[in-house]
Each structure stands twice: as structure tokens, then as C-alpha cells.
Amino acid sequence: MRVLVALGGNAMTAADGSASPQAQIEAVREAMEPVADLVASGHEVVLTHGNGPQVGNLLVKNELAAAVVPPVPLDWCGAQTQATIGFVVLNALEVALRRRGLRRPAAALVTRTRVDGADPGFTTPTKPIGRYLTVDEAQVLVGHGQTWQDRGERGWRRVVASPEPLEILDAEPARALVDSGYVVVAGGGGGIPCIVEPDGSIRGVEAVIDKDLSAALLGRALQVDVLVIATDVEAVATGFGSPNQRSLGAVDVAELRALAEAGEFASGSMGPKVEAVCRFVESGGSRAAICNLHQIAAAAAGEAGTVVQPTAATSEE
Ligand SMILES: Nc1ncnc2c1ncn2[C@@H]1O[C@H](COP(=O)(O)OP(=O)(O)O)[C@@H](O)[C@H]1O
Ligand SMILES: NC(=O)OP(=O)(O)O
């Protein structure tokens, strides 16, 4: 079975959201244990990952250093996060595989994702990145022209443009690597947002793509059977945060869509994950799951987390 695992922020940073190099190395080391189990079970594994904390931090560094060295645009920051996170993931994966007596070739691919320059996401920023600040700290930066949003208990967070991913431009090399036995890290941070000009040339644009939505596209482009979105909750819930909260187990895509339309899933967190698993299954994927890090292998087998299947009949398999 070919499985795409999408790793969320909790798999890449410390529990308090800290994105220091050491915190990232430790978090990724833990995340690669269940991924190595998946490889050990004989599956072909593709990895993708978020970059919200990292790309936000890089942007701040650029802005602070602008008087000293030339700042780079947000798409460059995204490309840089693919490299550093890919580097950390490959190192950790090798160790986890070696501990199981396994060796597999692995590669992290700089991946571009096509977006539409006229996407409304460019005029209404929605993607939270970087660190959390208090309302007072955030208001100072709003005064400097940045967009910040109240993200609840943890505070305020900067939001940037997040256009819809339309196509994984580097799907072909990613697929060639998977076909030849590599564990591939691709589409990190949703892919570097790019516009394809009428003459075929490609240029980056300043935005951060939602990695779950791009994972749905990457999964289909690589003919993945199962998409697993790993986050910090065991399952998708209805009535989330209320006394009536209930975890969803096996669910068919129509049922999940109806719950999404009823407003059960928060935008900017569970909303895009639910949309991504629906899109993946609706476009031909056999199964998709949302689970926590430790359930990756069981969720890939349809035995843990919220498991989404094309029809109610197949959900009883
Ligand atoms: N209906 C829901 N069911 C489960 N979790 C939800 C729901 N709505 C919002 N959430 C929140 O979504 C979070 C996961 O989204 P997010 O923090 O964006 O994940 P990641 O960084 O792993 O991609 C959970 O920690 C949970 O607090
Ligand atoms: N690009 C992206 O979706 O990153 P996070 O998952 O870290 O928010």
C-alpha cells in the first residue's frame, strides 16, 4: 500500500509551539518512530509536513535584518523551510529505520505548487504563521501594516495569504522517486506557491499554502492509496469543546461533508483537514484518516482515528 503521511505543527515543534532547532529535532525524532513502523510494515511511504511556525519565524528574521542584509520574499522563506525541515526529517528517519534494522533510500524534494494569481486568498489573509503574541503586542504590528488574528487561548497570530493549491508542479520527480523505492518528503509547507505565466515560466508568489489541502493533491498525483493526516487529537469530533463532544470513527465522505457544512469544524485548524480528506477520497483515494501521531500505522490500516471512505458500504470492511 502507498501511504502519504501529513505531519502537523505538533509533530515538528515542541508542545508549547517552540520552534528552536533543538525542539524541532526532538519533535521530528519522535514523529519518525511511527513513520518508521509504517515503512517496516512494508508500505511505500511519502511524507509531507507543515511549516507555519518555521516560516513565520523566518519572515520575522528577514524583517528585523532588512537594514543589514537584503530581505527575501515569503515564498523564499517557504522554500528555505522545506530544506531545513527536510534535512531534520531525513536524519531522524534514518535513525528510526536503523533502530529497526532497516535501510531505505530517502530524499526531500523542493516542491512547487501552482496557484492562481487572482485567488481571493491573496486579498483576504487566512493562514496563521509564526509565534503567538498578546493582543497588545499584536496591535503594535497591526499598526505597521501586518494582519493579526485572535487565535483563542494561545493569543494572537499573524495571518498571511493562502491561495488554493491547484497542482503539484514537481509531482513527477516525486513519483519517480517513490516508484523506485525512496521514502520521499515532498510538498512541505503546502509547496512553494507559484504562478505559471502564459509563456510557461514559473515565479514564486508571497503566500503560504495549507499543507493539508496540498496533501490531498499530492496524494492523488502520486497515486497514493491512503492519506493519513497526523495532528494532536485522536479523532475529529463533533460538538468540539462542548459537553456533547463526540469522536468520529469510520465515516463516509457524504456524512463528513454534511457535518462540515453544518459548521462543526473550525476554519484554520480542523476545517482544512476535513476538507483535505474529503477531496482526497472524492478524487479517487481509497481511504483517508485523521489521527494523532502515535496512531499513524493503525489509522493507515483504517483501525484508528477518524477514517473516511468513499461510501458507507466500504466503511464496514
Ligand atoms: N471538530 C474538531 N475536532 C477535533 N479537533 C478540533 C476540532 N475543531 C478544532 N479542533 C482543533 O484542531 C487542532 C488541530 O489543528 P491544527 O492545530 O491546525 O493542527 P496541526 O498543527 O497538527 O496541523 C486540534 O488540536 C483541536 O484543538
Ligand atoms: N503550511 C502549513 O499548512 O503549515 P502548518 O500545518 O504548520 O500550519
Q: Is the pTM of this model over 0.90?
A: yes
> Does any domain span residue 140?
no
Residue 86 shares a structural domain with residue 190 = yes
Q: Which amino acid is at 5?
A: V
Task: Decide if 25 contacts 67 (C-beta within 8 A).
Answer: no
Distance 240 CA to ligand 1 centre (A): 10
Residue 175 shares a structural domain with residue 109 = yes
This model of the complex carries an ipTM of 0.98
Encode pLDDT of 245-277 as tens digits.
Answer: 999 999 999 999 999 999 999 887 899 999 999
Query: Quick check: is 10 catalytic?
Result: yes
| DSSP 8-state class, residue 42 | T
For the stretch 175-180, contacts whose Cβ atoms lie closer than 8 Å and that sit 24 or more positions apart, written own/partner, are 175/221, 175/222, 175/223, 177/107, 177/109, 178/2, 178/44, 178/46, 178/222
Write the residue with the smallest CA distance to atom 8 of ligand 2.
52
By residue range, what is the domain housing residue 274? 225-317
Encode pLDDT of 99-157 as tens digits.
Answer: 999 999 999 999 999 999 999 999 999 999 999 999 999 999 999 999 999 998 889 99
The count of structural domains within the chain is 2
26, with CB counted inside 10 A (0-12, 13-18, 19+), is: middle
**Region 80-97: what's the mean pLDDT?**
98
Domain at 17, CATH number: 3.40.1160.10
Q: Which of 50, 191, 273, 302 is catalytic?
A: 273
Query: Which residue among 210, 217, 218, 232 has the greatest number of ligand 2 atoms within 8 angstroms of its CB, and so is best to mutate?
Result: 210
Residue 206 shares a structural domain with residue 265 = no
* Cα distance between residue 64 and residue 309, in whole Å: 47
Q: Which of 8, 9, 52, 121 is catalytic?
A: 9
pLDDT above 70 (res 314)? no
Q: Which of 211, 285, 292, 302 is catalytic?
A: 211
> Does any domain span residue 141?
no
Residue 205 shares a structural domain with residue 242 = no
